[in-house]
Structure 1
């Protein structure tokens, strides 16, 4: 009886078996404009291969399994020996192996390495965001280690390797290695200068013994960790290897794994140091200065990760509405739904354009580009990561009740969406960092104004937004209380400038009319009339 009445109809087919890279027109164009013409074919082929991997049913199933089977902590073995090991589902290791082999930790050693890696990271986040954490930490550790050439010589070839070597062994025996980070403590959080972990110098030059704790330690199964501790000369950066040179385990006591809202496949731990061996990285008292390069790189990955989540949410919403019929026609053809989808698509494309522009600045490495990064990385991290959650929630709503069901994959995106705005410094930290850059590094503002100035005169709403921004900067009274609004303006003005210069007119017009022109409501789907929303939605469609 049930078989004769249960007919499945008017359901969108699974969004699988496609190339996530070539289907993302905004990403393809951003990669091409920031890549040397001599490398474009090579980079496109590489990213298209990864895009097909990301879109495959098998890899998407790995992502589901890794999320559904979170890691388990084993503090002791059967005999009572302390082991402090984290057990992961096989799908986690398959994903991490694919990510390493795809070069997601190798940006520092390849031509156009940061742009191609940024695009790959944006794609890989759409499969399963949890495994992106160790990939990000490993990638970001390189600039900190380069402050000590001796350490860099040992670790950098392993961190930038495309070999996933999961066994815990001394670094000299590893074909590839992963890094984690331990900065925050329970009493301080983002205020790392309140850290109490103590570092006592040992007889060996550069060696110390650590005693203390870390309230959040990312990727505790990694081969090494960069941590902050109080040495005699002040807050200092240290490298803590998981395994010592003689093959014995370092003292690295995992107290528990965090039970997180999202990012469930990834282990985040509380750890204790009790006579833990560590090697100093940089000078005593220069801990923040040493690790700041790592922080900047991970903040850019927060932008990329949020852009990836937004892109996947928009792709799922557009795909569903293209196939779903209601009230006598396809949802995608209904003017109000098309307004919602176009609004979401514009937000996603603006995030992608901004993220890839910052990656290109890393590849350039010039003085002006470094100054631009100093201001725009915290601004982008603030704004793009905050836009991720409302985009994911609205995209899930486009699927109706289907979007609230776990099988759709949308709840996983919703749970993941707030993460990047919290990690690596929450919103206030980013806004205050923007103010710090304005006060201490005037060349950062010069570089920013030069960048947005490339688009002046192309759109009157963008010109007005630039003028308003300059007015804000002229009034420094109570600026800290206005830091969030100012940071938002830095981000949206730069996004507008990039879209005016590079995006199709329909996308740039929609962005400037809403985000810069003031004709926009508090919810998505409030784009003003007269825009070509159909063209914007067609551009965002993942498969034809």
Structure 2
């Protein structure tokens, strides 16, 4: 049969490009936060994650979901999760780039910033596989609470070798770690945990316990080991729980089922039970909460980084589509109202990039008193505001593609995957209210008012709206904002810091439009409502992915 028509006016996929070289906002933020950093590894990663081959792995890993096998064909309990080969290809690439352990391996001038930039770039390709990567990053320093375990596992946790086999750590060149904190009855309230830890002697790894109980969210159950919380005689404590015990036998971790999630399809999240599983104490008995909070700080950074990466990819897809798609006589990107939408999205993406990398810089300078205060202040702020903006951002970017953005297949299907992924980072490691309340606690630590004033000082005079907000924030913090005001405070601190950072890193068109809209009120209640004074063309040109 003859074809009825020729297919035209359909954009070519966004593929075969360097995600790092074309992200001017990221490169400028890197130059500001880590001027001495060698960009070569990030340039190489940006080229790798932009290839059609890696994009195909991302698609296949998500369309071929993990499968749980509780027993082998002879009826023996195995508790294994089977992944598509593309999942392992993605994991190998992420581990090979050091996204799980660069800050702990040494050798980089600004390791947390370098890793943060790489984490954002990889998120644009595929975010699900970064769950075990993020947990390994956060768990590694906490493991120092057990010197003997850390001596054995530490070097392999920073290795660039990926090995998915469920065998003894001795037989692997590299390992990964997960976490198990929440239970059915408690969720974020981990003090309500009921899993019991009973002392079972000691050995080369220190105090050994037997754990009996469950975990309601146990992500990436095929990791080699986990840090988990359980109730010991002295209270809630942290334990190191390997999947394979030192004698080579499998630990009694029973995977009940895998979660059927909205997004994050390539990653396996599970429910598990511990049937007298063996674990070794990490840190002091009864000090589990402080340890989990320390790990949570790092995973909350990754939530902000992940959403920022997803924003950038959604924006890149929208720009790529509208630059090639014609409607009403000219490209969509040339239509005045579409320009406003795209420029507004570009402002949001660049502001998120600036704030996320600034937070990573604070992690690199933990020996500096100001940076420690900023890490404490900006962690809940960045997690709250960037992640809260993600779903709205993805929905607006999807509209730029119309129906093509809503479908799951082909290159355009990435937008649907992004949209399903966006809520995760807002929920994981503490949803919005948890973050807002944590900000209130942070305002009572040290001289936060002076630290924030110092942070905003370099941008004084850049825009009148920023100056007004900077003048108003100290009194609101000093007045000890109440719980109902906490979200508003988190929003305003985020916007003030974002504006101050953009004033030091971005072109005037970006700074003026961001401050006029987000701080000055020249903005509506949806994306695409920038004022008439905004230089839309300049903002869009800076954000183009090619």
TM-score, normalized by the shorter chain, greater than 0.5: yes
- Describe the shift of the 1:489–1:81 C-alpha distance in structure 2 as closer, same or farther (beyond 3 A): same
1:537 aligned onto 2:540: yes
Partner deviation per Cα, 1:128-171 (whole Å, 9 max, x = no partner):
11101011011111221123332222222111110001112222
Supply the distance in 2 between the matched residues of 1:375 and 1:18 (Cα, whole angstroms).
36
Supply the distance in 2 between the matched residues of 1:150 and 1:455 (Cα, whole angstroms).
48
Does the 8 A contact of 2:101 with 2:136 survive in 1?
no
Aligned match for 2:175, one of 174, 177, 191: 177
Partner deviation per Cα, 1:226-281 (whole Å, 9 max, x = no partner):
11111000010111000001100001000000000000110000000110100101
Partner residue, 1:519: 522
Does the 8 A contact of 1:106 with 1:113 survive in 2?
no
State how 1:93-242 maps to structure 2 within 5 Å.
Answer: 93-108=88-103, 109-110=105-106, 111=108, 112-204=110-202, 205-242=206-243
Give SS of 2:145's match. Answer: coil
Does the 8 A contact of 1:17 with 1:55 survive in 2?
yes
Aligned match for 1:375, one of 371, 374, 377: 377
More displaced 10-residue stretch of structure 1: 325-334 or 76-85: 325-334
Cα shift at 1:2:
4.3
Partner residue, 1:473: 477
Give SS of 1:376's match. Answer: helix
Cα shift at 1:454:
2.2
Partner residue, 2:274: 273
Does the 8 A contact of 2:123 with 2:310 survive in 1?
yes
Give SS of 1:126's match. Answer: helix
Partner deviation per Cα, 1:494-534 (whole Å, 9 max, x = no partner):
11110011111111111101111111111100011111011
Give SS of 2:357's match. Answer: helix
Does the 8 A contact of 1:12 with 1:323 survive in 2?
yes
Aligned match for 1:464, one of 468, 474, 477: 468
Does the 8 A contact of 2:449 with 2:477 survive in 1?
no
Partner residue, 2:502: 499
Cα shift at 1:475:
3.5
Partner residue, 1:438: 443
Supply the distance in 1 between the matched residues of 2:453 and 2:131 (Cα, whole angstroms).
33
Partner residue, 1:360: 361
Supply the distance in 1 between the matched residues of 2:151 and 2:448 (Cα, whole angstroms).
32
Partner residue, 2:22: 23
**After the TM superposition, which segments of 4 or more aligned residues of structure 1 sit over 4 Å from their partners?**
none
Does the 8 A contact of 2:449 with 2:474 survive in 1?
no
Supply the distance in 2 between the matched residues of 1:84 and 1:269 (Cα, whole angstroms).
11
Partner residue, 1:350: 351
Partner residue, 1:338: 339
More displaced 10-residue stretch of structure 1: 69-78 or 165-174: 165-174
Does the 8 A contact of 1:143 with 1:293 survive in 2?
no
Give SS of 1:153's match. Answer: helix
Cα shift at 1:474:
4.0
Residue-pair matches, total: 536
State how 1:410-429 maps to structure 2 within 5 Å.
Answer: 410-429=415-434
Partner deviation per Cα, 1:8-55 (whole Å, 9 max, x = no partner):
111111100000010100111112222243x43xxx221111111111
Supply the distance in 2 between the matched residues of 1:52 and 1:190 (Cα, whole angstroms).
38
Supply the distance in 2 between the matched residues of 1:368 and 1:101 (Cα, whole angstroms).
33
Aligned match for 1:64, one of 56, 59, 66: 59
Supply the distance in 2 between the matched residues of 1:244 and 1:510 (Cα, whole angstroms).
57
Aligned match for 2:490, one of 487, 490, 494: 487
Give SS of 1:442's match. Answer: coil
Normalized against structure 2, the TM-score is what? Answer: 0.96
Does the 8 A contact of 1:122 with 1:307 survive in 2?
yes
Supply the distance in 1 between the matched residues of 2:373 and 2:145 (Cα, whole angstroms).
20
Partner deviation per Cα, 1:399-435 (whole Å, 9 max, x = no partner):
1111111121211110001110000111111011111
Does the 8 A contact of 1:10 with 1:325 survive in 2?
yes
Cα shift at 1:331:
1.0
State how 1:298-309 maps to structure 2 within 5 Å.
Answer: 298-309=299-310
Partner deviation per Cα, 1:170-197 (whole Å, 9 max, x = no partner):
2233211011110000000000000000
Supply the distance in 1 between the matched residues of 2:192 and 2:450 (Cα, whole angstroms).
34
Does the 8 A contact of 2:215 with 2:273 survive in 1?
yes
Supply the distance in 2 between the matched residues of 1:134 and 1:325 (Cα, whole angstroms).
42
Give SS of 2:443's match. Answer: helix
Supply the distance in 2 between the matched residues of 1:522 and 1:153 (Cα, whole angstroms).
53
Does the 8 A contact of 1:142 with 1:294 survive in 2?
no
Supply the distance in 2 between the matched residues of 1:430 and 1:234 (Cα, whole angstroms).
25
Structure 2 alignment gaps of length 5 or more: none
Supply the distance in 2 between the matched residues of 1:54 and 1:383 (Cα, whole angstroms).
27
Give SS of 1:511's match. Answer: helix
Supply the distance in 2 between the matched residues of 1:264 and 1:173 (Cα, whole angstroms).
29
Does the 8 A contact of 2:208 with 2:281 survive in 1?
yes
- Describe the shift of the 1:399–1:164 C-alpha distance in structure 2 as closer, same or farther (beyond 3 A): same
Partner residue, 2:257: 256
Supply the distance in 1 between the matched residues of 2:150 and 2:451 (Cα, whole angstroms).
31
Cα shift at 1:447:
2.4
